[in-house]
Amino acid sequence: MTTPPASPTPIANHDKADILAQALPYIRKFHGKTMVIKYGGNAMTDPALQKAFAEDVVLLKLVGINPVVVHGGGPQIEQALKRLGMKGEFIQGMRVTDAPTMEVVEWVLGGEVQQDIVGLINQAGGKAVGLTGRDGAMIRAQKLKLHDNADPSIEHDIGQVGDIVSVDPSVVKALQDDAFIPVISPIGFGENNESYNINADVVAAKLATVLHAEKLLMLTNISGVLDKQGQLLTDLTARRIDELFADGTISGGMLPKIAGALDAAKSGVNAVHIVDGRVPHVLLLEILTEQAFGTMIRSH
């Protein structure tokens, strides 16, 4: 017989008051500021974590902070392709997106995944609105040129995968001013009205820059950036990150995430946090308490 999970220890009233008092300076400091949140990983697929995420976003909005959510959806796209008998192909970690695959990407990201997140936030008492980069002519894109890692003179054709040309945040600002919470799918459009699938980390970083966000928070399935011994690095500067790239400490799937985070930090976003999305209410813990729950990246 399996043992039922232990129920959480109740928090004494004086401890609750202490926690709320600790949050007050942060609420005051960040009131009216924009926080861009890249939502992905386990936090997107585990029902308890989904609920906690939605509650965090609504609470931030209620205390006068402006959250903007950008989401990914790699696993959901993979499942949809399987259901349709289509096989996902990758080159150097990038999904090859031909026209039929792009159709699936659009309805999974801009439909299914986005509307799930909008529904969760609305259920938690917020007013979320789903957008793609097409809405309000927000994300203009062009075809991404992918050069071969071994021989840069070789260019791989990965279809409708996009590189951001420009971001116009006016539709996001209009929604924020009206008490709505924007939820953005990482789809851009080209000069011939073609759609592009864009890395969600890159979209979140670029959006944080053009919105002059106070913070960019990236939810991942790891505790943050780890050194070679597996220890969490809680505070990183741009120079230290360049060293970690050079010696191979940061590699693979973390490369675009950290590169985007670094660009945002260098372009005026006050702090970029890479946080563990497997921790319930990690957004509130990271934004409204002193405790570091991930890696913070600063420009200098």
pLDDT-derived band at 109 (thresholds 50, 70, 90) equals very high
Q: What is the pLDDT of residue 10?
A: 63
- The Cα–Cα gap between 173 and 156 comes to 37
Select from 31, 41, 57, 46 the least CA-distant residue to 183.
57
Q: What is the pLDDT of residue 252?
A: 67
In the chain, where the domains are located: 61-221+237-298
- CB neighbours of residue 213 within 10 Å: 26
Long-range contacts of 97-105, Cβ-Cβ distance < 8 Å, separation of 24 or more: 97/158, 97/159, 97/160, 97/161, 97/197, 98/159, 98/160, 99/159, 99/160, 101/159, 101/160, 102/159, 102/160, 102/195, 102/197, 104/77, 104/80, 105/77, 105/187, 105/197
CATH number belonging to domain 61-221+237-298: 3.40.1160.10
Q: What is the pLDDT of residue 9?
A: 56
pTM: 0.90
Is residue 130 classed exposed, middle or buried when 0-12, 13-18 and 19+ CB atoms within 10 A define those classes? buried
Q: Once rounded to an integer, what is the mean pLDDT over residues 19-31?
A: 88
Mean pLDDT of the chain: 88
Bridge partners, residue 130, by sequence: 183
Q: What is the pLDDT of residues 38-79, one digit of tens each?
A: 998 778 888 999 999 999 999 999 999 999 999 999 889 999
Q: What is the pLDDT of residue 5?
A: 46
pLDDT at 270 over 90: no
Give percent of the chain above pLDDT 90.
52
Q: Is 28 annotated as a binding residue?
A: no
- Cα separations (Å) of 56 from 62, 66, 163, 300? 10, 12, 31, 29
pLDDT-derived band at 82 (thresholds 50, 70, 90) equals very high
Q: Once rounded to an integer, what is the mean pLDDT over residues 208-215?
A: 94
Q: Is 197 annotated as a binding residue?
A: yes
Who's near 246: CB < 8 A, 6+ residues apart? none
Q: Is 64 annotated as a binding residue?
A: no
Q: What is the pLDDT of residues 165-191, one digit of tens each?
A: 999 999 999 998 889 999 999 999 999
Q: Is 32 annotated as a binding residue?
A: no
Q: What is the pLDDT of residue 144?
A: 92
CA atoms within 13 A on the CB side of 7: 2
Q: Is 173 helix (H, G, I), strand (E, B) or coil?
A: helix
Give percent of the chain above pLDDT 70.
94
